[in-house]
Amino acid sequence: MKMKIVKTIDEVRAQVKEWRKQGLTVGLVPTMGYLHEGHASLIEASHRDNDRTVVSDFVNPIQFGPTEDLESYPRDLERDAKVVEEHGGDLIFNPEPSEMYHQGFTSFVDMTVLTQELCGLSRPVHFRGVCTVVSKLFNIVKPDRAYFGKKDAQQLAVIRHMVDDLNMDIEIIGCPIVREADGLAKSSRNTYLNADERKAALVLSQAIFKGMDMVRSGEKDCAVILDAMKAHINAEPLAKIDYVKMVDCATMQQITALDRPALCAMAVYIGKTRLIDNFFTEDV
């Protein structure tokens, strides 16, 4: 079928209803647009697993704090449409903010666990915004499966937990981080980096690979691993660490020894751009 772009909730519902009548399964790839190979891998995974794939393309205002990059976040629907079509997506849902948040909108999905550490600490309203918009997208599309990248590891854990807590009948699929040839994790925010910052940004993935090597060679002391990673990042003058932490995969609480499955996650400013990266010890 020819890929379609729709702007309203009614149009999405009508299309999905039509597919359901035909007995087709539906996958959802929630995005904020400016799609890169990371998103493409999610669309491909959904295309493999489902008969039809919906890609939401919406820069969600309520997950940005007042001093964050909502206004400057890159947007290019025409470019996104090509990526979606090339990788097997069937429908783009690209609503205006007023379509998602009508006047008087006051209901939010919040989470009291998993959001107290890592990005939740530095971005206090972020996960409430993510949980709210993802719940709305789940209610609008009613997919069988939804696809999220492991680069946003805490987001993936939060969404899995929300789906479990609220009995949402949707399978959540986490897909591996996609990297540039030199290691930098793909991100729409990489477009903010100038040439010097782009080079400097490599300290994130280099520190990640250093941490993975240490875990592989049997180091169990989190402080030893984190200190080595931080030292590598701090040697780059353009880099400023927000956090580099080792947390329990299930609780997102900090741990001191690698005696359980853990997530090593970081957020680092390169100039004004905040980038994230991570590894799961189970994937090492």
Contact positions vs ligand PAF (CB under 6 A)? 30-32, 60, 63, 130, 133-134, 152, 155
- Closer CB to ligand PAF, 151 or 245, in the complex: 151
C-beta of residue 128 within 8 angstroms of C-beta of residue 264: no
Q: How far is the CB of 245 from ligand PAF (least distance, A)?
A: 20
Q: How far is the CB of 158 from ligand PAF (least distance, A)?
A: 10
Q: How far apart are the first and last CA of the chain?
A: 40
Give the span between the Cα atoms of 72 and 171, in whole angstroms: 33
Catalytic residues: 39
Give the span between the Cα atoms of 110 and 164, in whole angstroms: 14
C-beta of residue 208 within 8 angstroms of C-beta of residue 279: yes
H/E element holding 225?
helix 222-234
- Closer CB to ligand PAF, 162 or 226, in the complex: 162
Q: How far is the CB of 174 from ligand PAF (least distance, A)?
A: 12
Name, in order, each residue with C-beta under 8 angstroms of 205's C-beta and a sequence gap of 6 or more. 179, 182, 183, 184, 185, 277
- Closer CB to ligand PAF, 133 or 163, in the complex: 133
Fill in the amino acid letter for 284: V
C-beta of residue 185 within 8 angstroms of C-beta of residue 205: yes
Residue 23, Cβ density class (10 Å: 0-12 exposed, 13-18 middle, ≥19 buried):
exposed
Between the CA of residue 46 and those of 120, 157, 175, 273, what are the distances in Å? 28, 19, 10, 30
- Closer CB to ligand PAF, 81 or 130, in the complex: 130
Q: How far is the CB of 63 from ligand PAF (least distance, A)?
A: 6
- Closer CB to ligand PAF, 130 or 252, in the complex: 130
